[in-house]
Structure 1
Amino acid sequence: MGLVTPIVGVANYLVENPWILALLFLLYCFIYALSIMFSGPKPGRNPFSTKHVRPAKPVITDQSLRNKILKQRFKAQKVPDNIDTIVIGSGMSGLSTAVILGRAGYKVLVLEQHDQAGGCCHTFIDKGFEFDTGIHYIGKMMDGDMTRVLTDQMTEGQVTWCPMDPEFDIVAIGDPEKARKYTMLSGGKDKFAKHLEEYFPSEKVAIGKLMKALEEGKGAFWGVLIPKILPLWLSKIAIKTGIYHLVMRKFIKMSTKTFRSFLDDITDNEEFKAVIGYIFGDMGVVPSELSVLTYSTLINHYIPGAYYPVGGSSEIAFQMIPIIERYGGRVLVDAPISEILVNDKGRAHGVRVRRNNVDTDLFARRIISSAGVINTFKYLLPQEIAVKSPLHRYITEIGPSIGCLTTFVGIDGNSAELGLPKANMWAFLNVDYERDLEEYKNLTPDEASERECPLMFLSFPSAKDPTWEEKFPGKSVVLLITLCPWEWFKSWENGRVKHRGDDYNTIKERIGRQMWRQCEQLFPAVEGRLEYMDVGTPLSNKYYLGQPEGEMYGMNHSMNRFDPELSMYLRPQTGIPGLYLTGQDVLTASFSGAMHSGLLTASAILHRNLFNDLIALTKETRKLNKDPAAKKTD
């Protein structure tokens, strides 16, 4: 009788509170769905294999040979027969999706509006200098890391990665001529933490709390992924009932607290806060609007080590395009899409390429947009169709990320003699860079052109790329980047590229000159070495990268972007039959974010959990790395 009474009591309580049974049932469904997602049946063809990775061949530096791959101009007769998938945009996400689908048996056509494939991975050469446009460093490219394993699958191991300096980022605060400089040390969390303690010995407790938060953040990003992988109906139930919040407590905690408030909780040292929060520019969101989750995901990416692609960032697209072609696909440039075509049943079934006022309609079973959510729903889809997507109502709520201004500088002298580091620098005039940035954004462009730039990112591609000196002996390049609002240059939006008028050119060049003066103060050896300068504004981003307001990172990465209810709609499936999304808007910004979004989109199309396949492949790769003799060959 001792057990009967409590059991009866529990049974009666459950009868009187049926909501508990419902909650338990939903929790069971959620856990069951997770078990299917991570260990259940895997329909479709596995596109991954260790056999795809080959020994890397030497980098091809002949630009004419590279252009034959990267600059295949669109003509209707170049489109392969029986294309079943069209991808809009040839950035990392579009190319990744195409490679995976090609291996799974699909014939994919990738269309790029610019005259060179690669998106933010493309480079340009002008007057004897080559400049990258988006990749300044990539983390976790060590052999056997999952990010490296996936990258090798995308490129068949043909892109090799050069380690940057162990001190991968330099933070400079104060007057550029006498700035206080701090470095971020890679090589693992212990080295990272001890290096910080050398600068801030009185902040040992705060550094310990920071490292604990970074450790907690390592697995928390699954909280972003899971609502996108699960069926939408199940994600809705889990989030509405609170089951998701119960299971993903760590994610909710970290995604709902700003990094600034976290810093305020652990220290009163404003210099320390400024140094630790420096990397916010990689997301375009200041610490008071950036979640602890996003910060920890970002800095954790680089702590193990930072790398740069040998041959420059265009090497990535250069190696991926032939893979797509091998499976019957094609990547064609100078192919601006004016419209996604929808049939009378509301299904996306084609695209319209508009060149020189001539339209070419192309059709396929599915359309994948890597052009960004705002572009896709505001400009490419008929509005009566766009509003049918459950995502449409959230576009304005999230909004675009901030724009940037980039000064491209070519200088006389090689990087070694000039002392240019294989690292990046983040330069701030003051510790309160949030206030400085807000004041700077509120200036007119005329006023800004007369002020020192309060926030500047400096990158030295010529120092990072070991093939640089072979291609451009005795020369170096520097990229100087700052954040700025679209409104500064909006009035010149309708001007023709390279012909926007003297006022536009004068303002942007004055800002660029000021940024260069600050660079000379930070690196005195470059003074008097200037040979080339060009300045790109948010209008340049719009023209070359197709961003409607020149934004750097697609949709805004502030707190509400990762709210579970909103985030679950930023998924590959749009709710419009035949139309899928990929790209940084689906997941998050950065090379790695874009590549993993391709994995997510391909998973949705193949009805296969490719994340499981990638995890299995990573384990297999690590075993082979330990015992190369065990590797199977074709």
Structure 2
Amino acid sequence: MNTGVLAFVGRAIQYLVDNPYILGILFLLYVFIFLLSVLFSGPRPGRNPFSVKNVKPVQELITDQKSRDQILKQRFKNHKVPKNLDVVIIGSGIGGLSVGVLLARAGKKVLVLEQHDQAGGCCHTFHDKGFEFDTGIHYIGKMDPSFENRVLMDQLTGGRVEYPLMDEAYDIVAIGDPMKGKVSKFPFVSNKEKIIENLITRFPKEKEGIEKFFKLLKEARHFFTGCVVLKVIPKWLAKLLVSTGLINIIFKAYGKFGKLSLKDVLDSVTDDEELKATLAYIFGDYGVVPSKTPFGLHSVILGHYFSGAHYIRGGPSELAFQMIQVIEEKDGRVLVNAPVSEILMSEKGRAVGVKLRKGDSDVEIFAKHVVSDAGVANTFFHLLPKEVATKSSIYPMINKVGESVSFLTVFVGLNGSKEDLGIQAHNCWHFTRPDLEQLYDEYSALSTEELPNHDVPMMFISFPSAKDPSWHETNPDKSTCLIITWSHYKWFQDWENGRVKHRGEDYESIKTAIGKRMLQQCIKLYPKMEGKVEYFDVGTPLSNKYYLGFQHGEMYGLDHNMARFLPQTSIQLRPKTDIPGLYLTGQDVMSVGLAGGLYGGLLCASALLNRNLYNDLQALQKELKKSEDTEKKQK
């Protein structure tokens, strides 16, 4: 009998060794039972903020600037602060506003504080001399009504925002020196199969490598699932998942493609440098060169637009304009000119509010919870008392990951319609050579004095006015263009203590010279722009610091390198911090971009409400699909 039992146990163990996925299934079953026990024995879950009733018909755009400013530019005054606050949120970017709306819809009293004079963070736009420019949102993927992202966004805005499709060829990759007239162009279109077909036509000898690359893209598409799980389950459980290696079994895409770089993949599929550059072109969207980029991140960003790229009717500020109104409908407020100088702590070490410096006096605002959308580095290096910040497990991780790259942006106002100017509803990614990493290293090594006389090796060119159908309804003979390149804070650090718009002739001379060189290169790509420039201005990393609150002008918060997505980092970089009462939201919780900030807000609201809002969102999506199917049958 004992011999039989031992033999059975031996066979069982051998079976588990031969089929390791069984361990994963058993682990998931255990996690499910654990979460059920938490659900029924822990704090009571908050209210579900999602409902089909939240979405209203799209209304006419409000274009009167005074009316918009009444919503977007509500200056801080003591008497405007709601009483008995549940949550105070630092920063009004998409991460701050999204968590604010979700909590407000769940019955919480919220206050959002913005240091700038306009709410919206990277969603804000600015007007100057008859032109309007966006600052951070240039296109969005997965905004068709059937997508989960769109369902979430409609819940946040009340469904009052439209997302027009850009051209079928939403991104144009242009490689070569435009000053010599030698540029090859490749269009990325709103259909993955067409992209593959076009690539094979353009690079016929690389058919096998192209197909292998897209096969790996498909395999890596669920990269973020493992990353998110490590952020939401208890830390001890996450650490067990990592230490046992089960993370690599259950979440294969995360385990494999978090440690494999984009460069490694490109080198494995082709030796053609131009093809490598074409497949890697979108690295500017997350700001990390291929050798330091986890392939999983690249796969998600590249695939984000395969179903089509969208813009926002009325411009990106329309998102903030509508979301603020939802917060106000629930008795919350979003106030600007409210720079938070400190997170207030109780004697017991709990975050209990924030301090603002207004004039010669300090204003203290108290709440049950504090949420920061100011970025992890800002929060732990500048807002928390040092003795509190340094004890957190998050603190040492910040320097290990590092900060993201910054940008220099040229804002161009043009006389003429998009037809007159030969511009379209697309983006152009221009590289002077295909060796992207060497381009980056060479340009980064330049001194400040050398920059004005050097070609700009990488540019992102966008035409906001061509993407927004409402623009030419009110501005029929004007157009706008943005030209962006990477930049380093060190290049402009000598002028960091100067006042905005008063930094001196040297600063103006250098940034203008760089901007004019970028404009000259752009006009070579779009020659009908020649002689049509009416407005020209340049923003540097110092501008990003002043207007957006980034300490070194870093546009993507923490760097999106491979260290950022390692299990140890993902476990620590979660909405609920190890400082009682303090939560994080935005792109530093999830990833770069509007969608990253959006889901950072969703995770943060889930943690605060003790409720799995992602499950609620999926349930709502199914309800909407069922309703849509019923309507179709009735017709």
1:7 corresponds to: 5
**SS of the counterpart of 1:568?**
helix
Equivalents in 2 of 1:536, 1:298: separation in Å? 26
After TM superposition, give the deviation of residue 55 of structure 1 in Å: 1.2
From 101, 113, 116, the equivalent of 1:114 is: 116
- 2:127 alignment partner in structure 1: 125
Structure 1 residues 603-614: aligned runs within 5 Å? 603-614=606-617
Q: Supply the AA of the counterpart residue of 1:276.
A: L
Q: Is 1:553 matched with 2:556?
A: yes
Residue 67 of structure 1 is aligned with which of 66, 69, 80? Answer: 69
Q: 2:278, 2:576 → 1: CA distance?
A: 40
Aligned partner of 1:91 in structure 2 is 93
Counterparts of 1:297-446 in structure 2, within 5 Å, are: 297-446=300-449
User: Which shifted more, 242-251 or 40-49?
Assistant: 40-49
CA distance in 1, matches of 2:567, 2:497: 38
Q: Output one character per residue of 1:440-491: Cα deviation in whole Å (capped at 9) or x when no partner.
A: 1110122011111000000000000001012323111110000011110111
Provide closer, same or farther for how the CA distance between residues 6 and 434 of structure 1 changes in structure 2, counting only shifts above 3 A: farther
Shift of 1:567: 1.2
Structure 2 CA distance for partners of 1:35 and 1:598, relative to 1, 3 Å: farther
Deviation at 1:621, TM superposition (A): 1.8
Q: Measure the CA separation in 2 of the matches of 1:573 and 1:90.
A: 19
Matches within 5 A, 1:241-252: 241-252=244-255
Contact 1:283 1:589 in 2 (8 A): yes
Q: Does residue 486 in structure 1 map to residue 489 in structure 2? A: yes
2:175–2:432 Cα contact (<8 Å) kept: yes
Q: Distance in 2 between matches of 1:147 and 1:35?
A: 29
Among candidates 520, 528, 533, match of residue 536 of structure 2: 533
Deviation string 1:598-632 (CA, Å, 9 cap, x unpaired) is 0000010111111111111112222223334899x
In 2, the alpha carbon distance for the partners of 1:213 and 1:191 equals: 17
> In the aligned structure 2, how far is the partner of 1:553 from the partner of 1:566?
17
> What's the secondary structure of 2:164's corresponding residue?
strand
Whichever residue aligns with residue 356 of structure 1, its letter is G
Segments of 5+ residues of structure 2 without an aligned counterpart are: none
Is residue 30–residue 234 contact of structure 1 (8 Å, CA) maintained in 2? no
Q: Is the 8 A contact 2:293 2:560 kept in 1?
A: yes
Tell me the SS of whatever aligns to 1:196: helix
Among candidates 452, 455, 474, match of residue 452 of structure 1: 455
2-structure distance, mates of 1:180, 1:39:
59
Residues 54, 40 of structure 1: alpha-carbon distance in 2 compared, 3 angstrom cutoff: farther
Q: Distance in 2 between matches of 1:308 and 1:548?
A: 29
In the superposition, relative to structure 1, how do residues 77 and 288 fare at CA in structure 2: closer, same or farther (>3 Å)? same
Q: Give yes or no for the alignment of 1:227 onto 2:247.
A: no
Name which of 452, 461, 465 aligns with 2:464: 461
> What are the Cα deviations for residues 568-605 of structure 1, in whole angstroms up to 9, with x where unaligned?
11001110011000010111010000000000000101
Per the alignment, residue 592 of structure 2 pairs with 589
Contact 2:545/2:552 (CA < 8 Å) preserved in 1? yes
* 1:404, distance to aligned residue in structure 2 (A): 0.6
Amino acid at match of 2:403: P
The farther-off stretch of 43-52 and 373-382 is: 43-52
Q: Is the 8 A contact 1:38 1:609 kept in 2?
A: no
Q: Partner amino acid for 1:455?
A: M
Post-superposition offset of 1:5: 4.1
Alignment partner, residue 183 of structure 1: 187
Q: 1:629 to 1:363 in 2, by over 3 A?
A: farther
Match of 2:82 in 1: 80
Match of 1:618 among 611, 621, 627: 621
State whether residues 416 and 463 of structure 1, in contact with CA within 8 Å, keep that contact through their aligned partners in structure 2. no
Alpha-carbon distance in structure 2 between the residues aligned to 1:186 and 1:39:
45
Inter-partner Cα distance in structure 2 for 1:192 and 1:217: 18
Q: What's the counterpart of residue 140 of structure 1?
A: 142
TM-score for the superposition, normalised by structure 2: 0.95
CA deviation map 1:491-511 (0-9, x unaligned)? 111111111111111000000
Distance, in Å, in 2 between the alignment partners of 1:525 and 1:555 is 39
- Judge conservation of contact 2:24–2:249 (CA < 8 Å) in 1: no
The 1-side partners of 2:36 and 2:315 are apart by 36
1:192 positional shift: 2.3
Most deviating of 406-415 and 189-198: 189-198
Tell me which residue corresponds to 2:30: 32
**Residue 251 of structure 1: CA displacement?**
1.3
Q: Which has the higher mean CA deviation after the structures are superposed, 283-292 or 32-41?
A: 32-41
Amino acid at match of 2:462: S
User: For 2:542 and 2:515, how far apart are their aligned partners in 1?
Assistant: 15
Distance 2:30 2:419 in 1: 57
Please say if residues 87 and 369 of structure 1, whose CA atoms lie closer than 8 Å, have aligned partners that are also in contact: yes
Note the aligned Cα RMSD (angstroms). 2.2
For residues 24-71 of structure 1, give each alpha carbon's deviation from its aligned partner in whole angstroms, at most 9, with x where no partner exists. 999845542256669995932111111111110011111111000000
- Residue 97 of structure 1 aligns to which amino acid in structure 2? V
Q: Deviations over 1:204-240 (max 9, x none)?
A: 2112112211211222210110000101121112112
TM-score (norm 1): 0.95
Range moving further from structure 2, 352-361 or 253-262: 352-361
Task: Work out whether 1:575 is the aligned partner of 2:578.
Answer: yes
2: CA distance between counterparts of 1:516 and 1:12?
Answer: 72
Distance 1:621 1:217, change over 3 A: farther
Q: CA deviation at 1:409?
A: 0.6
Q: For 1:402 and 1:599, how far apart are their aligned partners in 2? A: 26
Q: Counterpart amino acid of 2:138?
A: H
Aligned mates of 2:472, 2:33 — CA distance in 1: 52
Corresponding residue SS for 1:288 = helix
Q: CA separation in 1, counterparts of 2:38 and 2:616? A: 12
2:156: which partner in 1? Answer: 154
Contact 1:71 1:332 in 2 (8 A): yes
Q: Secondary structure at the match of 2:304?
A: helix
Question: Shift in Å at residue 14 of structure 1?
Answer: 9.6
Asked if the contact 1:624–1:630 (Cα under 8 Å) also holds between the matched residues in 2, the reply is: no
Count of residue pairs brought into register by the alignment? 624
Spell out, residue by residue over 1:148-205, the C-alpha distance to the aligned partner (whole angstroms, 9 max, x if none): 1111111111110000001000011001133111100113x22222222222222221
